[in-house]
Chain A
Amino acid sequence: MKRIFLKYCITMICFGAALPLSAKILHEERSLYSTIVVTQTGNTRCLQFDVRSEQRSQSCIDVRRPKQMVFSYTRMSITSVLFAEAPKNILVIGLGGGTLPTAFHALLPQARIDVVEIDPAVISVAKSFFNFQPTSNLIVHAQDARVWTKRALLGPTRYDIIVLDAFNGEYIPEHLMTQEYLTETKSLLTPTGVLLANTFTGSNLYHNESTTYAKVFGPFINFRIPESANRMIVAPNIKPTDTQLKARAAVWSDRLQPYGVPIVRFARLLTKQRREKPDWRQNARVLTDQYAPANLLQSGDE
């Protein structure tokens, strides 16, 4: 309940409290993996994966200013550019409306971006309603991320930035939240790469997920911003100094303006938060392929 409430709060902060009343449904579809609903409220168009809880938006755009990032976690994900300079290969797990890969593609047109999304229906909805346009440098793969990752490991490509955001709400793919999967994903990183993961807060799973990431990546930055309940795990292979982080943020600042990403403030928060002590239970059991009851842990309140 707590998590639902938090998500509700986030959404409310994003849209203002009066908006749900006038939401118009543009498209509704039952796919193999979820129920996909596209709604529009004023100029905000959203992709939702669950009709039962009204405000479970996965991805939103402002149709007048499509670059503007409506959601905190997409804005937070952009901070990856501070850790991996001039990235050549970017991997995004989980498409949603495609806001993040589209932004990466616009900001770093030379980079090759691979997106892995299990649900073909989500891909076609992202194309028709959210301006998601694959190109020769922005490629979307309709596959299970675990299977895709295992196969990618057999190939030569390694990634400078990996963003994990495969968790859309009701059901967590448990095989994407284990020590083994994270180890495989870590092996896809370049020696100077960075991994970011949008994770769950507000339930028992927070602790298990944290110890699992810590087990694989060692100490990571527990990135949080005051205006959101999201927690972003930032695990860079090379840790830039505070000065470097701030300098890079200053360089990116203007270019990120249209996206609504306050990168200078984010960099300041990152330099502060990288020194903070873990706020999760250190003895929480690490999730593995052998032990992965993520959904059961998630449904139990903290």
Chain B
Amino acid sequence: MTYLIYLLAFTGGFVIMSLELLGGRVLAPYFGSSIYVWGSIITVFMLSLSLGYLIGGRWSIRNPSLMRFGGIFIVGALLMYPLVSFAEPVMQWIFKSISDPRYGSLAASTFLFMAPTIILGMISPYSVRLLVVSIERSGQVAGRLYFVSTLGSALGTLITSFYFVLHFEINTILLMLTLALLSMSALAIMCDKFGWYGDAE
């Protein structure tokens, strides 16, 4: 089970940063690609992740299970994929109502990226809950978990910016990220159902 949770945390980290990078591309046609657009995106992602940590930690108190953990991934996927069709009309509407591109891009990032990122932020604390079995080991477990998920983030950043954008359309990449989240949740739920448990640390 340990490896499975690390794998899921890795994928979560990967998807978060890949999505953040794509965010810049999504906003550029309406708000440009100036530093304030990146400022908006990063602000929204940081804020959403911080909220996600809070909510994920709170939610892990009662009845933590792989099943619920897999549920986080399904909800994340379901909130992310609609970007493919909703991003355009949402940005059009914001573009017409807010003329300053700084606040326009901030509003657009909030509308488009906040919900999926909050959900993805829940992954880390929930993973810690599933992995920790003793107080002495809790720091080590959290450390490994950050290591794995941040490594996923690094790879998500690199692969998206170096290779994905050179070969795929943004919507195709979003589809791939969605499928990655869904397959991770399927894996978690199957392990839960069929009792493929190993020993936790």
Using a CB–CB cutoff of 8 Å, the interface residues on chain A facing chain B are 32-33, 118, 143-144, 146-147, 150-151, 154, 173-175, 178, 180-181, 288-293, 296-297
Contact = CB atoms under 8 A, between A and B. Distances in A.
B34 interface: yes
A146 B169 contact: no
Nearest to B165: A293
Interface stretch (B23-31, B51-59, B121-129): B23-31
Of A118, A174, A293, most B-chain CB atoms within 10 Å:
A293
A290 B29 contact: no
B165 A296 contact: yes
B169 A175 contact: no
Interface string B161-201: 00001101111000000000000000000000000000000
22 contacts: A33-B34, A118-B34, A144-B31, A144-B32, A144-B101, A146-B28, A146-B30, A147-B31, A147-B32, A151-B99, A174-B28, A174-B33, A175-B28, A175-B29, A180-B29, A289-B170, A291-B168, A291-B170, A292-B25, A292-B165, A293-B166, A296-B165
Contacts of B34: 32-33, 118, 144
Given A150-B95, A151-B99, A291-B169, A32 B35 contact: yes
Main secondary structure of the interface of B (DSSP, over half): helix
Interface string B27-45: 0111111110000000000
Contacts of A175: 28-29, 32-33
Of A143, A147, A151, A174, most B-chain CB atoms within 10 Å:
A147
Contacts of A173: 33
B93 to A, nearest CB: 13
A175 B30 CA distance: 9
Given A174-B28, A296-B165, A144 B171 contact: no
A146 B99 contact: no
Interface string B84-122: 000000000001100101000000000000000000000
Contacts of B169: 288, 290-291
Interface of B: 25, 28-35, 95-96, 99, 101, 165-166, 168-171
B166 A296 contact: yes
Main secondary structure of the interface of A (DSSP, over half): loop
Contact of B30 (A32, A150, A292): A150
Nearest to B99: A151
Contacts of A151: 99
A290 B167 CA distance: 11
Contacts of A147: 30-32, 101
Nearest to B92: A150
Given A144-B101, A178-B29, 8 more contacts: A144-B31, A144-B34, A150-B29, A150-B30, A174-B28, A180-B29, A296-B165, A296-B166
A150 B92 CA distance: 10
Nearest to A291: B169
A146 B32 contact: yes
Contacts of B99: 151
B87 to A, nearest CB: 10
Contact of B29 (A118, A181, A291, A297): A181
Contacts of A144: 31-34, 101
Contacts of B30: 146-147, 150
Contacts of A150: 29-30, 95
A290 B170 CA distance: 5
Nearest to A145: B32
B123 to A, nearest CB: 28
Contacts of B170: 289-291
Given A32-B35, A290-B171, A146 B29 contact: yes
A171 to B, nearest CB: 10
Contacts of A292: 25, 165
Contacts of A178: 29
B101 A289 contact: no
Contacts of A296: 165-166
Nearest to A290: B169
A271 B96 CA distance: 43
Contacts of A288: 169
A154 B168 CA distance: 32
A297 B165 CA distance: 11
Of B28, B95, B166, B169, most A-chain CB atoms within 10 Å:
B28
A143 B29 CA distance: 13
B37 to A, nearest CB: 9
B54 to A, nearest CB: 34
- 3 nearest A-B residue pairs (beta carbon): A144-B32, A290-B169, A175-B28
Contacts of A33: 34
